[in-house]
């Protein structure tokens, strides 16, 4: 340990160390807040698919409802869905 450091320089080192600790604590709090924010969306889930319809009724609701619904639910647009429906043989009646 260095013993011939002036008191003012020694205080400067202590102050610098304290400031570094404060900055690290702030960074830690920010990281914790980000992790909690991300993780809460994984645990506090809200139902997304709440339609009481199923099967053909649900498909009709998607086709006849808001234009963005079918894209949001099936990730295709109405034209693509109708084309696939018309070119795919019916397996179930």
pTM of the model: 0.42
Across the range 43-64, mean pLDDT stands at 80
pLDDT above 50 (res 39): yes
pLDDT classification of 88: cutoffs 50, 70, 90: confident
Distances in Å between the Cα of 77 and the Cα atoms of 29, 57, 59, 82, 85 are 43, 18, 12, 9, 12
Query: Domain segments of the chain: what residues?
Result: 1-42, 55-87
Candidates 82, 86, 87; CA nearest to 70 is 82
pLDDT, the chain, mean: 84
Q: Model confidence over 6-37: pLDDT tens digits?
A: 778 888 888 999 999 999 999 999 999 999 98
């Amino acid at each position: 340990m260095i013993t011939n450091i002036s008191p003012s320089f020694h205080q400067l080192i202590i102050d610098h160390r304290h400031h570094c600790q404060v900055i690290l604590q702030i960074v830690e709090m920010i990281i914790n807040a980000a992790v909690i924010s991300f993780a809460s969306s994984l645990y506090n889930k809200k139902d997304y698919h709440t339609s009481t319809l199923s099967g053909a009724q649900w498909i009709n609701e998607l086709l006849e409802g808001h234009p963005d619904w079918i894209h949001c639910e099936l990730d295709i647009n109405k034209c693509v869905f109708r084309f696939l429906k018309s070119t795919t043989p019916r397996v179930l009646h």
